[in-house]
Homo-oligomer: A and B are copies of this chain.
Amino acid sequence: MTDSTHAGRPVRLAVDAMGGDLAPGPIMDGVACALRADKALTVVLLGDHDVVTMFADVHDRCEPHPTTEVIAMDEHPASAVRSKKDSSIVVGCRLVAEGAVDGFFSAGNTGAMTAAGTLVTGRIKGVARPAIATVIPTPGPPTILLDAGANADVKPEYLLQFALMGSAYSTAALGVKEPRIGLLSIGSEETKGSQLVIEAHELMKDVPGFIGNVEGTDITSGVVDVVVTDGFTGNVALKLMEGLSKTLFKELKTAMTSGAASTMAAAVLKPKLAALRDRLDPDATGGAPLLGVNGVVLIGHGSSGERAVTNALRVGAAVVRNDLVAHIRDAIAASSEA
């Protein structure tokens, strides 16, 4: 993450202490670690009164903001957001809307975060649908994939906006000056793909950095900085990658630990494999922003632990300091005028 230009600019991030399968313990550990790493970071901690006040009491630059409700992982997103006004997710998104914080992170219900980000924080003017952008490791610099699951059904115009927003995120979060953008399809020719993709390709032709269609192999090859797709395909791809990496490492372990000579050889290689595994771990980024809303809203994996939270807050502070939201606003405004 390139935050060097603005390192030190004070940033206030709200964090949902109640969100995710492991909350609150490992979430708080991640907050503590992030506060130690970034001396210009202040965290506003949302959640159960006792939990957040106790933690804030013993940590500098940490303010408690008790909330009385929790949206569970399996609740229906839109109705939960409507009915639970004092839930940590709704309050966090409201604090962003009010400008009381620069951003908000939760590892809670992804659908509820998407709904609250869209309805409570609110969309940037001109944005049709916010999209979740996720960072995919490649052998070189990482690639941004969006939409990772906010919109199962999209229109060609949405994909055009995803391209603009993804490009702004690539610059703000990863420091890529002129991001190369690819449209995910099933053939590189512009006539290949679904009707949706063929129409989107036509709309995207004038987008700076657009290199045309890319295929499934290109998601992890590093050939582009931004891969644009609908939230159905993007979510399937993301979960497939997680599943396949896990399966491969498991099989690798089995292959490597059968037989004495292998076990010894495996011990030598263990640190290197751990480093590779680490790099492929989704926790290395930790938070996926909901792009297109009026503020930095970061969604964590349900299984987010200390490392994921620490990294999510690092990404959050970086994109705040690099004015991500202003860049998206400008890109969407320029595109509407064109």
Residues of A that sit less than 8 Å from B by CB: 138-139, 149, 152-153, 184-186, 192-195, 197, 215-221, 229, 231-233, 235-248, 250-252, 255-256, 258, 261-262, 264-269, 272-273, 275-276, 280
Enumerate chain B residues within 8 angstroms of A252, measured Cβ to Cβ. Answer: 252, 273, 276
B247 touches A273 (CB 8 A): no
The DSSP consensus for interface residues of chain A is helix
Is the CB–CB distance between A194 and B232 below 8 Å?
yes
CA distance A240 to B243 in the complex (A): 12
Residue of B nearest to A218 (CB): B243
29 contacts between A and B (CB under 8 A): A138-B247, A139-B250, A152-B192, A152-B193, A152-B195, A153-B194, A184-B236, A185-B232, A186-B236, A186-B239, A216-B235, A216-B237, A216-B238, A216-B239, A216-B242, A216-B243, A217-B242, A217-B243, A218-B243, A219-B240, A221-B243, A233-B236, A244-B245, A248-B248, A251-B276, A255-B272, A262-B272, A265-B265, A265-B269
Contacts of A197 in B (CB 8 A): 152, 232
| Copies of chain A in the complex | 2
Question: CB-nearest residue of chain B relative to A193?
Answer: B152
Return A234 CB to nearest CB of chain B, in Å. 9
Whether A239 pairs with B217 at a CB distance below 8 angstroms is yes
Asked if residues B193 and A216 are in contact (CB atoms below 8 Å), the reply is no
By beta carbon, the residue of chain B nearest A279 is: B251
Contact status of A149 and B186, CB under 8 A, knowing A220-B247, A261-B268, A265-B268 = yes
Chain B residues with CB below 8 A from A241, complex form? 216, 240, 244
Please indicate the chain B residues that have their CB under 8 angstroms from the CB of A232 in the complex: 185-186, 193-194, 197, 233
CA distance A272 to B261 in the complex (A): 12
Partner of A255, one of B247, B255, B275: B275
If A153-B194, A193-B232, A216-B239 are given as contacts, then 4 extra A-B residue pairs at C-beta distance below 8 Å, sorted by A number, are: A153-B195, A217-B246, A264-B265, A265-B269
Q: Which residues of B contact A152 (CB under 8 A)?
A: 186, 192-195, 197
Give A270's nearest chain B residue, CB to CB.
B265
Q: Which single residue of chain B is at the shortest CB-CB distance from A251? A: B276
Cross-interface CB contact of A266 among B184, B245, B248, B265, cutoff 8 Å: B265
Chain B residue contacts of A268, Cβ below 8 A: 261-262, 264-265
For A272, the closest partner residue in chain B by CB is B255
Whether the Cβ atoms of A244 and B220 lie closer than 8 Å is: yes
